A and B are shown apart, each in its own frame.
Chain A
Amino acid sequence: MILSLIVFLPLAGALLVLFAGGSGDRPDREGLVKTLALVVSLVTFAATLVLWWMFDPTNADYQFVERHAWMPMFGIQYFVGVDGISLFLIVLTGFLTPLALLSSWDSVHKGVKMFAFFMLALESSMLGVFVAIDLFLFYMFWDFVLIPMYFLIGIWGYDRRVYAAVKFILYTMAGSVLMLIAIIGLAWAYDAMTGAPSFSLIDLQKLTLSWPMERWFFLAFALAFLIKVPLFPFHTWLPDAHVEAPTAGSVILAGVMLKMGTYGLVRFAFPLFPSAAMHYAPWIAAFAVIGIIYGALVAMVQPDLKKLVAYSSVSHLGFVVLGLCAMNAQGLQGSIYQMLNHGVSTGGLFMIVGMLSDRRHTRLISEFGGLKAVMPRFVAAFLLVTLSSIALPGMNGFVGEFLILLGGFLWSPKFAAIAATGVILSAVYMLWMFQRVNYGEVTNSKNTSLPDLLPREWALMVPTIAIAILMGVVPNVFLRPMEPAVKKTIERVTGRSFATAHAAPASRPLASGQKQVATTAQETATGRQPRANSQQPTAKANSHE
């Protein structure tokens, strides 16, 4: 019951807000609506913490499973569950939504009721994405997520908001619909094998698909997820959406929605189509590495703070995808860890940019300078979030990037080596930006009397920074519950391609495909070795401080 409660609590809250807000635009109910929305999101967060507390960290299977027949004639079920991979993404969603609501507390004044409604509806659908195990259910949540976000960008965004909103929805939807066809194809393939269709992930993993089918279905899934991530070169919707979205929208978009893409890869695309995944992993990783460098270089030259953070997301998410492609314990754990880190630190950065933009109504770096003298506490918070984002040892980002690079190196040293330069580049663009905004003389007279952190902003920064440090210092708290599910996923993905390499290499139509399978089989052998002591790198991370 707890999962359904978590998923539908925000939706119930959204409907409550809709009725409590009265008809039309009622400025006198603004406070009530905001408080109500915040309370609902906080209760949801508390429920996600309870979920974490009740979660059995030694179990690799789905927990808190709920299964109800929904459309029995097609084998469609209401089937939800949580494992170590999705657990923290659920907690992250619960954590970021109240912060996002708080971050737009003072800047949203028109249609507050609808704003709160869409935020809570968005939270429900994102949580639904992370708990769904039935692919039909998953797709419904996945597609619906776009609608509230579309409105959040389009109504409460900045100047080019309509363009950004439409681009966002069309771009991501165009990717997803092909996945719908692939999902349908999978269900009928299951029907052909067993006599009854099914959309359950657990059932569909038992399928043996022909190579062309597996390949096309994988590509359809991967396209949907990689656009969402977004992987270079599918990233062009992201800067627009991020820059034009209101602060709350950016926080959720960067913090949670991008992770839906990487989560989809590790939960659905890779385990459903292991051979195709291993076949295409080097290609995806290559684009990820290009994205790491490209995102960092483009971020470096951005005059706009929000755009800079947006491109840094492209770079950071490149790391996550690289770790996934490595498909070994370090890489995968690092990837999932980095998803959480990116949510916290980039969410934090967007909040910071939002604070600056609330005060000055501009986000141009050149408009600022010397803020340290004016608002020292704000700059301190800014510094900590920046350091978390550039992965300073002791902060959360370090653990994730280190694990990813380690996993990447075990898999393919050359990818890891190129990706590692991204770490340096991220320090370059973030610190340079930090320096231009905060140090030096106050050059712009408008900056001389900016207020320092307000109580509401303290409430945003303290939890963000606290969790960033916590995740940097005691990563095991987070890594341990992931481990069983991560191992299971790796066994599923690499184990099967290992078997097919021996069983049916001749059935592969592509010579290069054969070669690939052979090399991945080797990788599996090397990749499996260090899994026994996968806690090792985190121990290193600790000792590094």
Chain B
Amino acid sequence: MSNYAALIPIAIVALSAIAAMLAEAFRQRDERMPIYGLGLIGLGGAAIASGVLWNSDAKSLEVIRSDNFALFINIVLCIVGILTMLMSNDVIEREQIPSGEYYALTLFAICGMMMMAAATDLLVIFVALEVLSLAVYVLTGIRRQSAAGAEAAFKYFLLGGFSSAFFLYGVAFAYALSGSTRIEAIGTALSAQPAGTPPSTIALLAVGLMAVGFAFKVSAVPFHMWTPDAYEGAPTIVTAFMSTGVKAAAFAAFARVFLSPLEPLQAHWIPVLSVIAAVTMIVGTVVGVVQTNVKRMLAYSSIAHAGYLLLGIISANRDGKASLLFYLLAYAVTNIGALGIVALLGTAQEQHDELRDFAGLWRSRPALAGLMTIFLLSLGGIPPTAGFIGKWYIFSAAVQEGHYWLAIIGVLTSVISVFFYLRIVVMMYMTEGSEIPRPRVPAAAMAALALAVAAVFYLGILPTRVIDLALNSISTIF
């Protein structure tokens, strides 16, 4: 049994996904069935299982390893999933999204993400990547009557396919190098090289191609082209889910591959990733400034945040790894909150995701406007929110390694990003409102927003416990 312990959280989520599918099959036409409850049970169970497995460092089938790093990501993913599910019920009904498929796909995506974070074999990472990607491609285009959704899904699928191919090609080179796809074996093969000799072309190709694959998934510039379209075309609640969940899983695998087996090649990939990180931060914020659609704006903000997260990998020290984990959590609760509010403001006819649609929100929905402001300030990195501590921690790690320039670019682009976050605030508070019908906010969604905002302040004011957990998580593997 203990041989399969590491699989338990993943299995629980998979079972709940199957249950959601079955529930949909048995649903009468027009029957309202709270399928999201199944998802909540599954995710809650997975979170508890992850808690129980904490410190056990269980390995299953030699390719899935539930070390604390994977478990931390599991818990982040469960939080992402639970918040999404709580906000989904009314939103998907309004947008006429088939609920059974929606919940099942979301849960399968989470399965893939968890597997990706825990996998210690490059091929398993690839399989997990495909599991989560396929689910997310379908979720992006799940509104079948929407042309924008279909376009987004198609673009995302095509470019995502490319990136998977790049990644797989990189895996092939890694296999050629070491005769194995296991992470430890590749690490041994690379560090077996005598110091001082330049790495072989094959090794560099493996690193480069895998970096391209990951850069696609985390939407780093110049591999970010799919992000704005996919985020804008997808149903908003799906955008909230994939901007946080996919990012967390992709960064987890990115860190696991680059910081342990590929560590001997650090001197070669750090300069490249540094340039990518700098360009990502700059492009994400500068292009974000001119957007007039809030979802698109948050898509570019998500690109910028990928740049900040890359600093954690580049720093490659203890605090860099821990700050990566902390930042993923902080970004997850913040961004789901912000995009969740955008989703909740949509009506059956219109998405209401243009900047001007937020005008006067303060008058009609003061509580939502207040919460949105807090989430935006957290995205901008203003104390005392989660976003501030996250940025401080990640820049602190970069400074510790002497990457002053990256940290300076980071803080300056944060200021620019504050400018566009404030554009939304200006609309909500300082512009007279248009008479847009504002839908009622269901209690479950309000609970999700309350949880998210509580997390934002908890991580912003008393981050010690979570930082301790993050430090504890990275100590087991790297």
- 0 or 1 for each of A176-187: is its CB under 8 Å from B? (1 = yes): 011011001101
Inter-chain contact B383/A169, CB cutoff 8 Å: no
Inter-chain contact A185/B383, CB cutoff 8 Å: no
* Cα–Cα, bound, A173→B383 (Å): 12
- 0 or 1 for each of A9-24: is its CB under 8 Å from B? (1 = yes): 0000000000000011
- 0 or 1 for each of A54-83: is its CB under 8 Å from B? (1 = yes): 000000000000000011111000000000
With CB as the reference atom, state the residue of chain B lying closest to A18. B370
Inter-chain contact A154/B382, CB cutoff 8 Å: no
Once A143-B383, A162-B430, A174-B415 are accepted as A-B contacts, the answer to whether A188 and B467 lie under 8 Å apart by CB is no
A193 beta carbon closer than 8 Å to chain B: no
* Cα–Cα, bound, A73→B465 (Å): 11
Within 8 A of B (CB), among A118-177: 136, 139-141, 143-144, 146-147, 150-151, 154-155, 161-162, 165-166, 169-170, 173-174, 177
Once A24-B366, A188-B399 are accepted as A-B contacts, the answer to whether A140 and B388 lie under 8 Å apart by CB is yes
- Chain A residues contacting B467 (CB-CB under 8 Å) are 71, 73
A203 beta carbon closer than 8 Å to chain B: no
- Chain B residues contacting A169 (CB-CB under 8 Å) are 418, 422
Q: Nearest Cβ in chain A — how far from B78, in angstroms? A: 25
Q: Nearest Cβ in chain A — how far from B103, in angstroms? A: 33
Q: Nearest Cβ in chain B — how far from A390, in angstroms? A: 36
**Most-contacted residue by chain B among A72, A111, A173, A174 (CB, 10 A):** A173
Within 8 A of A (CB), among B254-273: none
Q: Nearest Cβ in chain A — how far from B259, in angstroms? A: 20
Number of interface residues of B (CB under 8 A): 33
Q: Nearest Cβ in chain A — how far from B54, in angstroms? A: 19
Inter-chain contact A144/B384, CB cutoff 8 Å: yes
Inter-chain contact A177/B422, CB cutoff 8 Å: no
B429 beta carbon closer than 8 Å to chain A: yes
Q: Which of B383, B400, B463 contacts A144 (CB 8 A)?
A: B383
* Cα–Cα, bound, A111→B369 (Å): 13
Inter-chain contact B404/A143, CB cutoff 8 Å: no
- Chain A residues contacting B384 (CB-CB under 8 Å) are 140, 144
A441 beta carbon closer than 8 Å to chain B: no
Within 8 A of B (CB), among A337-368: none
Q: Nearest Cβ in chain A — how far from B70, in angstroms? A: 23
Inter-chain contact A71/B382, CB cutoff 8 Å: no
B231 beta carbon closer than 8 Å to chain A: no
Inter-chain contact A173/B418, CB cutoff 8 Å: yes
B188 beta carbon closer than 8 Å to chain A: no
Inter-chain contact A181/B408, CB cutoff 8 Å: yes
* Cα–Cα, bound, A151→B373 (Å): 11
- Chain A residues contacting B363 (CB-CB under 8 Å) are 25
* Cα–Cα, bound, A166→B382 (Å): 15
Once A140-B388, A147-B382 are accepted as A-B contacts, the answer to whether A180 and B426 lie under 8 Å apart by CB is no
* Cα–Cα, bound, A74→B422 (Å): 31
Q: Which of B362, B399, B415, B418 contacts A185 (CB 8 A)?
A: B399
Q: Which of B408, B411, B431, B464 contacts A72 (CB 8 A)?
A: B464
- Chain A residues contacting B418 (CB-CB under 8 Å) are 169-170, 173
B468 beta carbon closer than 8 Å to chain A: yes
* Cα–Cα, bound, A178→B410 (Å): 10
Once A70-B464, A143-B383, A174-B412 are accepted as A-B contacts, the answer to whether A151 and B422 lie under 8 Å apart by CB is no
Q: Which of B396, B400, B426, B468 contacts A162 (CB 8 A)?
A: B426
Q: Nearest Cβ in chain A — how far from B370, in angstroms? A: 9
With CB as the reference atom, state the residue of chain A lying closest to B322. A73
Inter-chain contact A155/B429, CB cutoff 8 Å: yes
Chain A, interface residues (CB within 8 Å), range = 35 or more
B341 beta carbon closer than 8 Å to chain A: no
Q: Nearest Cβ in chain B — how far from A228, in angstroms? A: 15
The total of Cβ contacts below 8 Å across the A-B interface reads 84
Inter-chain contact A154/B430, CB cutoff 8 Å: yes
- Chain B residues contacting A150 (CB-CB under 8 Å) are 422
Inter-chain contact B426/A166, CB cutoff 8 Å: yes
B377 beta carbon closer than 8 Å to chain A: yes
- Chain A residues contacting B395 (CB-CB under 8 Å) are 180-181, 184
Inter-chain contact B422/A166, CB cutoff 8 Å: yes
* Cα–Cα, bound, A161→B426 (Å): 10
- Chain A residues contacting B407 (CB-CB under 8 Å) are 181, 184
- 0 or 1 for each of B398-409: is its CB under 8 Å from A? (1 = yes): 011000100110
Inter-chain contact B422/A147, CB cutoff 8 Å: no
- Chain A residues contacting B382 (CB-CB under 8 Å) are 143-144, 146-147
Inter-chain contact B383/A73, CB cutoff 8 Å: no
Q: Which of A140, A144, A181 contacts B399 (CB 8 A)?
A: A181
Inter-chain contact B429/A154, CB cutoff 8 Å: yes
Inter-chain contact B411/A181, CB cutoff 8 Å: yes
Inter-chain contact B400/A181, CB cutoff 8 Å: no
B414 beta carbon closer than 8 Å to chain A: yes
Q: Which of A23, A151, A177 contacts B411 (CB 8 A)?
A: A177
* Cα–Cα, bound, A155→B412 (Å): 26
Inter-chain contact A73/B471, CB cutoff 8 Å: yes
Within 8 A of B (CB), among A62-107: 70-74
Inter-chain contact A180/B366, CB cutoff 8 Å: no
B419 beta carbon closer than 8 Å to chain A: yes
Q: Which of B362, B367, B392, B414 contacts A184 (CB 8 A)?
A: B392
* Cα–Cα, bound, A147→B418 (Å): 11
**Most-contacted residue by chain A among B377, B392, B408, B467 (CB, 10 A):** B392
- Chain B residues contacting A188 (CB-CB under 8 Å) are 396, 399-400
With CB as the reference atom, state the residue of chain B lying closest to A181. B407
Query: Beyond A150-B422, A166-B426: 14 further Cβ-contacts under 8 Å?
Result: A25-B366, A73-B471, A139-B383, A140-B383, A143-B388, A147-B382, A161-B430, A162-B426, A170-B415, A177-B411, A180-B411, A181-B407, A184-B395, A188-B400
Q: Write 21 A-B pairs (CB below 8 A) sorted by A numbering.
A: A24-B366, A71-B467, A72-B464, A111-B362, A136-B392, A140-B383, A140-B388, A144-B382, A146-B382, A150-B422, A155-B429, A162-B426, A170-B415, A170-B418, A177-B411, A177-B415, A184-B392, A184-B407, A185-B399, A185-B404, A191-B400
B-side residues, CB < 8 A to A, are: 362-363, 366-367, 377, 382-384, 388, 392, 395-396, 399-400, 404, 407-408, 411-412, 414-415, 418-419, 422, 426, 429-431, 463-464, 467-468, 471
The 7 closest A-B pairs by CB, nearest first: A177-B411, A140-B383, A184-B399, A184-B396, A154-B430, A174-B415, A71-B464
